[in-house]
Amino acid sequence: MAEWLENKERGSLWTMRLMLFLCRHGGQGLVRPLLYPIVAYFSLTSSATRAASLRFYSQVRGHASWKDFFSQLLCFARTLLDGIFILSGDTDDYTVTSHGREMLIEEQKRGNGMILLGSHLGSFEACRILVREKAGLNVHMVAYFGGSQKIRSILDELNPGLADRVIDPTEPDAIFRMRDVIENGGVLAILADRVGIGDKKASARFFGKQIDLPAGPYLLAHVLGCPVYSFFGLLAGKNHYDSYVERVAERIVLPRQGRKQALDAYVQNYADRLEYYCRKYPYNWFNFFDYWKEKG
Which residue, 14, 288, 286, is CA-closest to 150?
A: 14
> What's the pLDDT at 12?
47
Stated pTM of the model: 0.88
Does residue 216 have a pLDDT over 70?
A: yes
Read off the pLDDT of residues 133-179 as tens digits, 9 standing for 90 and up. 666 778 888 877 655 555 666 666 666 666 677 888 888 898 999 99
What average pLDDT does the chain have? 84
C-beta of residue 229 within 8 angstroms of C-beta of residue 102: no
C-beta of residue 195 within 8 angstroms of C-beta of residue 259: no
Which residue, 106, 138, 131, 87, is CA-closest to 241?
A: 131
Is 267 within the bounds of a domain? yes
Close Cβ partners of 194 (under 8 Å, ≥ 6 residues apart): 1, 2, 4, 120, 214, 287
Q: Which of 59-63, 65-69, 154-158 has the highest mean pLDDT?
A: 65-69
Is 289 within the bounds of a domain? no
Is 275 within the bounds of a domain? yes
Is 296 within the bounds of a domain? no
Coil, strand or helix at 249: strand
Close Cβ partners of 282 (under 8 Å, ≥ 6 residues apart): 57, 60, 61, 68, 72
Is 291 within the bounds of a domain? no
Average the pLDDT over each of 41-45, 79-83, 158-162, 168-172 and give the range with the smallest value.
158-162
Does residue 230 have a pLDDT over 90?
A: yes
Residue 109 half-sphere exposure, CB side, CA atoms within 13 Å? Answer: 7
Q: How far apart are CA 240 and CA 127, in angstroms?
A: 10
Q: What is the DSSP letter of 291?
A: T
Is 160 within the bounds of a domain? yes
Average pLDDT over residues 94-102: 87
Is 155 within the bounds of a domain? yes
Domain that residue 64 falls in: 2-284
Sign, Cα dihedral of 146, 148, 153, 156 = negative
Between these two residues, 95 and 218, which has the higher pLDDT value?
A: 218
Is 294 within the bounds of a domain? no
> What's the pLDDT at 160?
66
Number of domains in the chain: 1
